[in-house]
A and B are shown apart, each in its own frame.
Chain A
Amino acid sequence: MRKLLISALGLVLFATSGVSFYQSRRLEEPVVLSDGVTDVKRLGDYFEGVRGTVNDANLYFLDSGVPGATMLVLGGTHPEEPAGRLAAWLLAENAVMEAGRLIVVLSGNRSATTVTRVGGAYPPDFTIETDWGERTFRLGDRWSNPLDQWPDPEVYIHHPSGQYLAYVDIRNLNRTWPGRPTGTLTERTTYAFMELVRREGVGVFIDLHEAELQYPVISTIVAHDRGQELATYVSMMLSDMEFNIGMEYSPVNLHGLSHREVGDHSDAVSLLFEAPEPFLDATRGRTTREQLLTGQDEFVMKAGEAGLLFERIDERGWPIAVRVGRHTSTVLQTMEAWTELNPDRPMRVRGVPRYAEVIERGVGHWLRDPASAPVSRLRVE
């Protein structure tokens, strides 16, 4: 009898935790397509090796019908950097192209959106307040879910450079570029994105990220060799008119990262944007949804007082609207700068809020209500 009771309690624990994990892995995130979205394809359309897998991502095409260049914006490379995904969401739900084309990805590594950091006490999701209610998003992690790709090798040897990288980074989408058709799920995913870039003739590739304040590559644009002029121009304009953002050269000998490999293995100019996210700092306090969204943390502030940070922080923190606004403005400024530098291949867009607008009205203002959208304009991530 006692044995049965203890087993029953164990079963209850297993069932409750199991249901929680099952639901968070399968939480559906709606996308209300902007009027500018002209087509939705799948990553598997470009490479069979990811078709039908967890990483067969939605690709949102916004084609103006007016000749120009194509920009690809990749959100969700590292899902636990939510400003990147949310900025891409704002594009997919609001942007209308007036010249050229835009391709938006919300879940670059969808597998990584279905798991949180083991031992990190991460919340499984977070909620954004909107004008009509709220939207909940999966928080995710930096690496693909071990349920989808396992085991990791002792040492990860990057393809094709042969460079030795940290073993766990074989599940890191931003260490597996340009990918390998016969490789792991994460390598096949980056290979599929490279096929997309090459076959669609992408001119500008943008990878949206966030960084801890103790990491030196922060509040900056990392640019491939061919993107240095563009990135410098964008950095100067934004720093003069909206917020400080730096520009850094993509290291030639650091392999696997999008800002290096996409540029090296395609005709696209590859850029990577970093916004500040105190949630990722090792010295943070409680790892909560509130901390994720407000970016306020007294322990990270202490680290700042000790001179350990590469970005300022005060009691105002780094709210999600500030981080998302940095990304939307940097994307918009990149389009404007590109068009000035390449008037024969323009890109123009309307409907996307800039930095000040996102801060003033909040991220949720720019998320549309799935309940009032026609089914044909709804997708799920």
Chain B
Amino acid sequence: MAVLQTLVTLLYYALVAFVSVMLVWNLTRTRDWKQEVLYVIVLIPFLLRLFRLK
């Protein structure tokens, strides 16, 4: 159980990192300022979790 939990947690963090990178990538690509704001706002909770702050 504990081993499985650790594995799932690692996968979860990998997923969070992947989504964060994709959000940053999309942020660099878009030309619509509303979407830029949206990407930045959505990115914050992902970064907070990635850095184990909340």
The answer on A and B forming one complex is yes
| Residues of chain A having any CB pair with chain B under 8 Å | 2-3, 6-7, 9-10, 13-14, 17-18, 21-22, 25, 115, 147, 149-151, 182-184
Given contacts A21-B48, A22-B53, contact A3 B36 (CB under 8 A): yes
Q: How many residues of B are in contact with the other chain, CB < 8 A?
A: 21
For A152, the closest partner residue in chain B by CB is: B5
Chain B residues near A10 (CB-CB < 8 A): 40-41, 43-44
Extra inter-chain contacts (20) besides given A14-B47, A150-B9, CB under 8 Å: A2-B33, A2-B36, A3-B28, A3-B36, A6-B36, A6-B37, A6-B40, A9-B40, A10-B41, A13-B41, A17-B44, A17-B48, A17-B54, A18-B53, A21-B53, A25-B53, A151-B5, A151-B8, A151-B12, A182-B2
Closest chain B residue to A185, Cβ basis: B2
What is the CB-to-nearest-CB distance from A230 to chain B, in angstroms, rounded to a whole number?
37
A3-B28, A147-B52, A151-B5 in contact; A14/B44 too (CB < 8 A)?
yes
Q: A18 and B51 in contact (CB under 8 A), knowing A10-B41, A184-B1?
A: yes
**Which of chain A's residues has its CB closest to B11's CB?**
A151
Contact A183 B48 (CB under 8 A): no
Show the binding face of B for A, using Cβ within 8 Å.
Answer: 1-2, 5, 8-9, 12, 27-28, 33, 36-37, 40-41, 43-44, 47-48, 51-54
Q: What are the residues of chain A within 8 A of B8 when measuring CB–CB?
A: 151
Q: Which residue among B2, B28, B48 has the maximum number of chain A CB atoms within 10 Å of its CB? A: B2
Query: Per DSSP, are chain A's interface residues mostly helix, strand or loop, or mixed?
Result: helix
Nearest residue in A to B47 (C-beta to C-beta)? A14
**B45 to A: closest C-beta gap in Å:** 9
By a CB distance below 8 angstroms, the chain B residues around A22 are 53
How far does the Cβ of B14 sit from chain A's closest Cβ, in whole Å?
14
Q: Which residues of A contact B43 (CB under 8 A)?
A: 10, 14
Complex Cα–Cα for A10 and B2 (A): 36
- Most B C-beta atoms less than 10 A away, residue of A6, A21, A115, A149: A6
B9 to A7, Cβ gap below 8 A?
no
Nearest A residue to B54 by beta-carbon distance? A21
Expressed in whole angstroms, the minimum distance between the Cβ of A25 and any Cβ of chain B is 8
From B33, B48, B52, B53, contact of A6 by CB (8 A) = B33
Nearest CB of chain A from residue B27's CB, rounded to whole Å:
7
Contact assessment for B5 and A150 in the assembled complex, using a CB-CB cutoff below 8 Å:
yes
B36 adjacent to A18 (CB under 8 Å): no
Asked if residues A13 and B27 are in contact (CB atoms below 8 Å), the reply is no
Q: In the assembly, what is the distance between CA of A2 and CA of B36, in Å?
A: 9
- What is the CA–CA distance of A285 and B38 in the complex, to the nearest angstrom? 31
Alpha-carbon distance A25/B51, docked complex (angstroms): 13
CB-defined A-B contacts under 8 Å, sample of 29: A3-B36, A6-B33, A6-B36, A6-B37, A6-B40, A7-B27, A7-B40, A10-B40, A10-B43, A10-B44, A13-B41, A14-B48, A17-B48, A18-B47, A18-B53, A21-B53, A22-B53, A115-B54, A149-B5, A150-B5, A150-B9, A150-B12, A151-B5, A151-B9, A151-B12, A182-B2, A183-B1, A184-B1, A184-B2
Checking B5, B44, B54 against A184 with a beta-carbon cut-off of 8 angstroms, the contacting residue is B5
